[in-house]
Structure 1
């Protein structure tokens, strides 16, 4: 293993400038315009059938849009310039609703595509695709590529990131299908892939093995939710294989306190991995899964402003340099997001 003084340069501030453009809700921007970026967040998380048939008692669309706009405007005041919304199919994605927020805020919002399932897909996918009852090409590939190259749901908003999931169930047949479709879409478009992982199961290694076998360059992959882990050898292994790791659940102190999350980041910085980490919260302005009333009591720091308000000062006080913070929040997101064709 290497330390900071001998760690290989993997890109970022000293390793070249990202190319291409980044698609946002308001159109393409230069990677240099992204600034400080939160690369794993959600504006609204829902459940489409439940939302239609059994609306959540805390949900009011107009109020929710206004609240999200206030939060993201305040985030801009705190120095953050870009937020990646990783709400994909399976999480109640509604880009038209988020577009109403994007029109009101100074931050760049980036949409995503993919399918959030840890086990099975809806029945539609069981009958559509090569060798299936209805046949035709795999709709997942068509959906993902169309979202990236044309726009999502007729909105014209093009996705700038792909998301896949593996959890306790492992890489099931349907999960493998999603990951394969994401690999194809990535290869056709250059858009990076991020994952939902379970670091307690060390399944980022399985994700890397699968994506590598599918032809994905692991330097274009973020293994998500690694901030839930204090297993330094595991995290180093993921980065040494080429991937960036998402230290992306700050504020989820019911899983791991922020002080311990910060300690892991500081140790990895000391070991020379500033160029292979990104910071975020996996927060939401409104989530049906953990609604605002629950978060207010059980996770009061789980919000978009936690990193600029609390975590960055903790990192700096712990020995991180301003350049370390910029690399994790500016250079690394720009390198990842700015390499789309």
Structure 2
């Protein structure tokens, strides 16, 4: 048996059920929210809205979501705990890590490896201990343990800050066995950089890494190459069609299934109950970007184009379960 930590507690991986591998509850700019609380509004109203949306998702048959909200995205576990208590039918797996496309947060700039040259000795990175503590002891005194590690690399590429976080995540993985999700930018072929740093140099098996946002490209040859290397492909932004279309995302999934890669893909929407990065007035222009889009629109579309029920089960149940099982 293998086990995974959720907000409800530790469960056997056989209990994960239908799993969406990349959904946020809230994405927030912590400093803005703390200093300008009028933007957030009433706490109870926000919590009630999240509970309603997550209950609707569970009613579609989704049993588990992975919420990769970490430092840089406004993670606040006591709020997630409060919401989870009111949606007992849904497992929420939370993550630890740091989200940046460029430099590390200011807190880390003069700690750890940044002091190597000054002190003339190798200084351990405090990020590693932070991540390991979240995974093994729990987060901020809540007793809730992270079940996933998270980092990011975008079009800016492998900046020193991005590389430092990536290596800290890899080292925390080696100490704990926790799997990893990486926000990637497939248009810049950043998956190859993940492979070089995390796999070739830090020793992480590609099968333990989800390359998030792989569905942002229609280049199926690139995706096949990454899947053949062993990575799990996150086809996880369905509904976010600002720079693409519904059809482009869905047809890419269909093609990859037709090529035989269902057992290397996971599905999700990267949606949230509320994200303060986007003016609320813009959200009506993204009408499909919500938790129910996969069930309501995407799965019927791909079924009509030859994706089988077995392949859907593979992507939504089998691959997530296998991903969280300790090798």
For residue 147 of structure 2, give the secondary structure of its aligned residue in structure 1: strand
Q: TM-score, normalised to structure 1's length?
A: 0.91
For residue 55 of structure 1, report the CA deviation from its aligned partner: 3.3
2:33–2:39 Cα contact (<8 Å) kept: no
CA distance in 2, matches of 1:137, 1:228: 35
2:173–2:180 Cα contact (<8 Å) kept: yes
Aligned length: 321
Residue 308 (structure 1) aligned with residue 291 (structure 2): no
For residue 339 of structure 1, report the CA deviation from its aligned partner: 2.4
1:264 to 252, 270, 280: 252
CA distance in 2, matches of 1:235, 1:269: 12
| Counterpart residue number, 2:16 | 34
2:240 to 252, 262, 266: 252
| Counterpart residue number, 2:167 | 180
Give the alignment's Cα RMSD to 1 decimal. Answer: 1.6
Post-superposition Cα deviations, 1:195-239, rounded to whole Å, max 9, x if no partner, equal: 111111111111111111111001111111011100011111110
Q: Which runs of 5+ in 1 are unaligned?
A: 1-18
| Counterpart residue number, 1:207 | 194
**Residues 186/56 of structure 1: CA separation in 2 closer, same or farther (3 Å cut):** farther
For residue 273 of structure 2, give the secondary structure of its aligned residue in structure 1: strand
1:107 to 81, 87, 90: 90
| Counterpart residue number, 1:118 | 101
Q: TM-score, normalised to structure 2's length?
A: 0.94
1:79–1:308 Cα contact (<8 Å) kept: no
Residue 191 (structure 1) aligned with residue 200 (structure 2): no
Q: Which runs of 5+ in 2 are unaligned?
A: none
| Counterpart residue number, 2:7 | 25
For residue 26 of structure 2, give the secondary structure of its aligned residue in structure 1: strand
Larger RCO: 1 or 2 (CA < 8 Å, sep 6+): 1
Residue 331 (structure 1) aligned with residue 314 (structure 2): no
